[in-house]
Each structure stands twice: as structure tokens, then as C-alpha cells.
Structure 1
Amino acid sequence: MAKFTRKAIVQTFLQILKTTPLDKITVKDICESCEVNRNTFYYYFKDIYDVLEALFDEEARMVLDEVKEGGTFYEAYARSSALLINNREAIMHLYASENGKVLRQYLDVVAAELVRRFVLEKASGYDLEETDINFITAFYSNGIVGSTIKWIEKGMKRYDRDIIRRIADSFEATIYDMIECCMR
């Protein structure tokens, strides 16, 4: 029951965030919508920002757990983008808020972990040092996060499947060249 209540609070927060800027959401709004009392809210979370961090922590954990070994980079990237695509309004409200850095942290963590998994897979059999793996991971994950932030800044226009495909194709088309560059 406790897990259900915690999850209900997080999901209610996300639904409210779709229509209300982050800085305007109150604990009272969440409690009324979720039909829990304030004590219950504060049992699980210390404030609104704690709920926000829990949302991204849980989503990052789910994304990273769901990415199957042997899957394609496109599949992994598309899955990791689902939170953004399925919650455009909430993401726009969050990005515009003073605490938009939590979104950036989520993107950084998920992109770096996903890219690292695929870099390690593609680099199997090559004699790369850890610094090379880190460089390649940073190169691609920073490019992905930067492209994603620009897409959000431009209002998250509905070309998301195209940008996901292009980024995934770019990774696949260049990863071995990056590995070869590090081998020199």
C-alpha cells in the first residue's frame, strides 16, 4: 500500500504539472487531487522538489532497467525519450521553471548511462582505455542532451520520432570511427 501511495503522489504531481507551472504547484494541490492528507504527503516527501526528483529518479531507473541487452541504440533512445514525448506540457512547464536543472540532470544521467552501455558493446574487442570510453561516452551523451535541450527550447515540435531516428542513426554511423580515432 505504501508503494502505491507514493507512486500515486508522483503521478498526480506529473498530471498537475501538465497544466500548471512548477512554481505554482502546491502540496495542497497534490493532496486534494490525490486524495491524501498533508501528513501522508510529508511522510513520503519533504516538498514539491523532492517529488520532482523522485519522478526523475524512478523514470531513470525504469529506463535503464528496461533497456535490453542486444537491443538497438534507437530502441533504447526512443524509450528514454518517452517521458518527454508523453508529457510535453509538463516538460515545458518544468523547463521554464527555476528548478529546470532537475530535467537536465535526468537527461545527463540517462544519456550517459545509455550511451556508455552501447559504447562498451561496440568497443568490445578493441583495446580502449577507460579514458577513451569516457571520452566517447561524453561526446555522444553531451550531443544528445544538447540536441534534446534545443528541441525543448524550440517548444518540442512534433518531429520527435525524426530527431530520435536521426540521433540514433548518427550514433550507429559514427561510433566505430570514434573508436578508431581513440585507437591511434
Structure 2
Amino acid sequence: MRKRTYEASEAAKREICAALKALMAQKPLNKITVAEIMQSCGMARQHFYYHFEDLYDAVRWMFDQEAVALLREHDGVMLWQDGLLQLFQYLQENRAVCLCALHSISREHLKRFFQTDVHVIIQGTIQRIAEELNYQVSEEEVDLLTKFYVGALASIMEEWLLGNIRETPEELIRFADQLLKDHVRGAALRMAETPPAAEQTCRGGS
């Protein structure tokens, strides 16, 4: 019984969000009302609030189910590029809706929709590359590198969506992948060439 209730709730959410997406492709989010969304999907207005707090909560759920889910399926070092490519394809296929969200919601709020999952994927990728190179990377370095690349990727996606970057998604992902690997390889090489602190102290004292 509980499973059926959950499935019915999820189906209702998807139907509401489908109606919301159709409207977002036509006009700004602040011009859309709950009443017209629910009228579009043949439900009573109050049913919206059984599932969502407000329109922004519905947008968040929609992106989480449709876009962020693509990233969660690709968390391996050889697969994260595929996840990002699918995300770019989602942005392309839903460009009008995504631009509506971008112009209607603060950029920082919109980035948070993706940031957590992108963070996990990039963090795991850095750790795996370091392991392949036998590079003992510290937690602090992993965290800093992850934040740097997550911020860079979020900005690239935003600029690409706005039409300010002409490169294809494939070109952007290849560039990001090579940059990330080169960064970790460079750090590993630098560490291999740097003598231990004790050795440096000994040389300085001689």
C-alpha cells in the first residue's frame, strides 16, 4: 500500500513538472502560476502543494530527476565524461526551459542543483587518477582541486547554455578531462622530484 502511494505521488510530480516545463519554454517563471500548471495537467490547484512547497521546489525536483540523475549513473573514472556529455545533451534538448530557470533563479541557487553530484564525481575521478599514478594526494588537496574544477565546469556549462562558448560539448569535455589529468600528473611529478623535508633540512645544514 505504501509503495503504491509513493508511486502515485512520483507519477503526479512528473505530470506536474511536465506541465511546468511546457510553460517554462514559453515564458518566464515569474509569469507562471500554480493555477495554470494544475489546469494544464487536469488537477486541482491545492494538489500542487501536496507535492511541492512552491514553483522553485518543483524546478529543483525536476532538474534533480532529469539532469542530475544522469551524473549519478556515471561515477567511474572512465565514465564521468559520458555523464557530463549526457548533461550537455539534456541542456541542449531543454535549452528554453534551462534558460528560463537561469534567468528566473539566482545563478548561485541554480548551480547548487548540480554542484553536489558534480562534486562527488570529480572528487572520485581525482582520487582514482592519483591512485593510478601512485600519488599520495592529501584530503585537503583533493578538496581544493575538486572545488576548483566544479566551479570551472559550472561556469563553462552556464556560458555554453547562454551561447557565449562555441565549442561542442565533446570538445569541452575532452579539454576538461585532459586538463584534470595533466594537473594531477604534474602534481605527482613535482612530488616525485621534491626531496623529503628531512633531506632538505639535512642539505641546508651541511
> Quick check: TM above 0.5?
yes
State the alpha-carbon separation in 1 of the partners of residues 102 and 83 from structure 2: 23
The answer to which of 63-72 and 167-176 deviates more is: 63-72
In structure 1, runs of 5+ residues without a counterpart are none
Picking from 74, 79, 90, the partner of 2:97 is 90
User: Structure 1 residues 59, 110: closer, same or farther in 2, change over 3 A?
Assistant: farther
Partner of 2:20: 13
Distance 2:151 2:186 in 1: 18
Distance change >3 Å, CA 141–CA 100, structure 1 → 2: closer
Question: What is the rounded CA distance, in whole Å, between the counterparts of 1:102 and 1:44 in structure 2?
Answer: 20
Contact 1:12 1:33 in 2 (8 A): yes
Match of 1:169 in 2: 174
Post-superposition offset of 1:55: 1.5
1:112–1:137 Cα contact (<8 Å) kept:
yes
For the residue of structure 1 that corresponds to 2:152, the secondary structure is helix
Q: Give the structure 1 partner of residue 154 of structure 2.
A: 145
Distance 1:3 1:90, change over 3 A: same
1:74-89 maps to which residues of 2 (within 5 A)? 74-89=81-96
Structure 1 residue 60: deviation in Å? 5.2
Residues 122 and 175 in structure 1, CA contact (< 8 A), matched pair in contact too = no
Deviates more, 1:96-105 or 1:83-92: 96-105
Q: Which amino acid aligns with 1:72?
A: L
For structure 2, the residue ranges without an aligned partner over 5 or more in a row are 1-7, 192-206
- In structure 2, which of residues 28, 35, 38 is the aligned counterpart of residue 31 of structure 1? 38
Aligned to 2:183: 178
3-state DSSP of counterpart to 2:76: coil
- Return the offset for 1:77: 0.9
Task: Specify the SS of the correspondent of 1:123.
Answer: helix
Relative to structure 1, is the Cα distance of residues 55 and 122 closer, same or farther in structure 2, using a 3 angstrom cutoff? same
1:2 to partner: Cα distance: 1.9
* CA shift in 2, pair 1:154/1:143, >3 Å: same
User: In structure 2, do the counterparts of structure 1 residues 100 and 137 end up closer, same or farther at CA, with 3 Å as the change threshold?
Assistant: closer
Residue 114 of structure 1 aligns with an amino acid whose one-letter code is: I
**Which structure's relative contact order is higher, taking Cα pairs within 8 Å and 6+ residues apart?**
1
Equivalenced residue count is 180
**Do the aligned residues in 1 keep the contact of 2:122 with 2:146 (CA within 8 Å)?**
yes
Q: Deviation digits for residues 59-82 of structure 1, max 9, x if unmatched?
A: 355223321636434312112223
TM-score of the two chains, using structure 1 as the length reference: 0.84
- Does the 8 A contact of 1:23 with 1:97 survive in 2? yes
Q: Give the counterpart of 1:44 among 42, 51, 54.
A: 51
**1:57 maps to which residue?**
64
1:152–1:28: structure 2 CA closer, same or farther, 3 Å change rule?
A: same
Residues 1:133 and 2:138 aligned together: no
Asked whether the 8 Å contact 2:67–2:90 carries over to 1, the reply is no
Question: CA, structure 1 residues 52+131, in 2 after alignment: closer, same or farther (shift >3 Å)?
Answer: same
Taking structure 2 as the reference length, the TM-score comes to 0.76
